[in-house]
Amino acid sequence: MTFKHGEKKLNYDKFFQDKLTDLKDEGLYRTFREIDRHQNLFPKALEYNHGKNREVEIWCSNDYLNMSQHPEVMQTCIDVINELGTGSGGTRNISGTSSYHVGLEKCLAELHRKEAALVFPSAYTANQSTISILCKNIENIEIFSDQLNHASLIEGIRNSRAKYNIFKHNDVDDLERLLRQSNQDSPKLIICESIYSMEGIRSPLKAISELAKKYNALTYLDEVHSVGLYGPGGSGVASELGISDDIDIINGTLSKAFGQMGGYIAANNQIIDYIRSFAPGFIFTSSINPSVAAASLKSIEISKVAETLRLKIKHNSSLIREGLKSINIPFINNDSHIVPILVDGPLECKKISKLLLDDFGIYIQPVFYPTVPKGEERLRVTITPKHNKVDIDNFISCIDKAWDILEFKRENKNNIHSLA
């Protein structure tokens, strides 16, 4: 907001308070629950509220394989803390590159069949920094981005100030229409995700890859919600489809299936060295702690052979979907570990989330704008290997009761791919 000379000066506190009031009036204000996920209790945890605590059950964790509490992973982290301390000591350029950082990047490159990898403090930073500097310096580049790409990808695109085109979600025909209309001599970058976090639906990755070849475009794939869970040894959807070599840059995270903290990109040597040398978001920030790098290495090592855990997640996800179908609860049907239950309106979404926690001890965070478009509010259910049949039956029963208490409409929307 700008002001001309002589106008009344802005009351900053009132400005901030008015914005927060508007947010609350729209039902879009977020509150954080204080939850301690104690070791060996998961999916049970302790909620702290007004000086009291009680046991609740978590149904929205991104610690998909429960690696954050794996005994070997925890011991590795402790050992390296005892060896090197708790902090990295600086940026990667200034004393912040340990042997564990180097080993982790080598491991990630091998996981994705790439020549090199680069670790960032978060996958958000990795996306934002990589896309921004990649496109800022390539003259006349055009970006083609899926309509439902993550905020970190969008921020990277905006910060690059490059020309961009938004194609309809998972619509290959619309993508090709835009590619066909573009300057055929201009450099191009196609950006998409392998599994969209709020829908749990896969992208048509093979078809997108073919279009990239046809129109000489670079490809950037966000595999944040698939690494550790899909593909050989948890190497992701691109690897599962056998097209890793066709994807130029893969983004992943250490903080979901691998249960740690940080993000990364994997690509060829030239791209990685370019990002390492030019991206401010990599150059001017402290590196992840060596203990976290070491724990991530151990987690990836374990995850590579954790096929039993991946099969358990698949089985549990099927049980959840079957249960929701049996009681006519609207949800987005897919084949992933993410099951979005649809709720009509942000206030209603917050209301059922609060009811489930307060009356049934079921913790599942409401999801609303700007995380999802207005009118597509949901409870995003994520299933882990630690949830068992008893937990799942109880969860379905609690959803059923909560739906009745709030008199929500039941609709058998079991194929709502149009929303995704």
- pLDDT higher than threshold 80 for residue 89: yes
- pLDDT higher than threshold 70 for residue 185: yes
- pLDDT higher than threshold 90 for residue 420: no
Structure confidence at residue 415 (pLDDT): 45
Rounded CA-CA distance 88/120 in Å is: 13
Distant-in-sequence, close-in-space partners of 180: CB < 8 Å, separation ≥ 6: none
Rounded CA-CA distance 45/330 in Å is: 27
Nearest to 257 by CA among 35, 61, 78: 61
List Cβ<8 Å contacts ≥24 apart for 352-355: 352/379, 352/402, 352/403, 352/406, 352/408, 353/379, 355/402, 355/405, 355/406
The mean pLDDT value for 147-166 works out to: 95
- pLDDT higher than threshold 80 for residue 142: yes
- pLDDT higher than threshold 80 for residue 263: yes
Structure confidence at residue 38 (pLDDT): 87
Residues 256, 350, 351, 386: which is the catalytic one? 256
- pLDDT higher than threshold 80 for residue 416: no
* Mean pLDDT value across the chain: 94
52 pLDDT tier (thresholds 50, 70, 90): confident
Paired with 49 in beta bridges are 52
Q: Which residue has the tokens 């046809």?
A: 214
Concatenate the DSSP letters of all residues of 198-245 into one string: TT-PBP-HHHHHHHHHHTTEEEEEE-TTTTTTSSGGG--HHHHTT-GG
Rounded CA-CA distance 131/155 in Å is: 9
Structure confidence at residue 39 (pLDDT): 85
CA angle 190, 191, 193 (to 5 degrees): 140
419 pLDDT tier (thresholds 50, 70, 90): very low
Structure confidence at residue 8 (pLDDT): 78
Rounded CA-CA distance 87/288 in Å is: 8
Structure confidence at residue 6 (pLDDT): 55
Structure confidence at residue 78 (pLDDT): 98
Structure confidence at residue 5 (pLDDT): 57
Residue-wise pLDDT for 273-322, tens only, equals 999 999 999 999 999 999 999 999 999 999 999 999 999 999 999 999 99
Q: Which residue has the tokens 């700007």?
A: 370
Could you please state the CATH topology (level 3) that the domain comprising 34-65+307-419 is classified under: Aspartate Aminotransferase, domain 1 (3.90.1150)
Could you please state the CATH topology (level 3) that the domain comprising 71-303 is classified under: Aspartate Aminotransferase; domain 2 (3.40.640)
Q: Which residue has the tokens 């970058």?
A: 189
- Share above pLDDT 90 across residues of the chain, in percent, rounded to a whole number: 88
What's at 272, amino acid-wise? I
Structure confidence at residue 31 (pLDDT): 86
Cβ contact 58:37 at 8 Å? yes
Reading the block at residue 327, the tokens are 């009681």
Q: Which residues of 117-143 are buried (b: 16+ CB within 10 A; e: fewer)?
A: bbbbbbbbbbbbbbbbbbbbebeebbb
Residue-wise pLDDT for 101-117, tens only, equals 999 999 999 999 999 99
Of the listed ranges 91-95, 193-197, 319-323, 411-415, the one predicted with least confidence: 411-415
Structure confidence at residue 264 (pLDDT): 98
Reading the block at residue 300, the tokens are 């990836």
The mean pLDDT value for 175-187 works out to: 96
Cα distances from 367 to residues 27, 224, 373, in angstroms, run 11, 18, 10
155 pLDDT tier (thresholds 50, 70, 90): very high
Residue-wise pLDDT for 313-355, tens only, equals 999 999 999 999 999 999 999 999 999 999 999 999 999 999 9
214 pLDDT tier (thresholds 50, 70, 90): very high
Rounded CA-CA distance 109/38 in Å is: 33
Structure confidence at residue 418 (pLDDT): 38
Active site residue 350: no
Segments making up each domain of the chain, as ranges:
34-65+307-419, 71-303
- pLDDT higher than threshold 70 for residue 368: yes
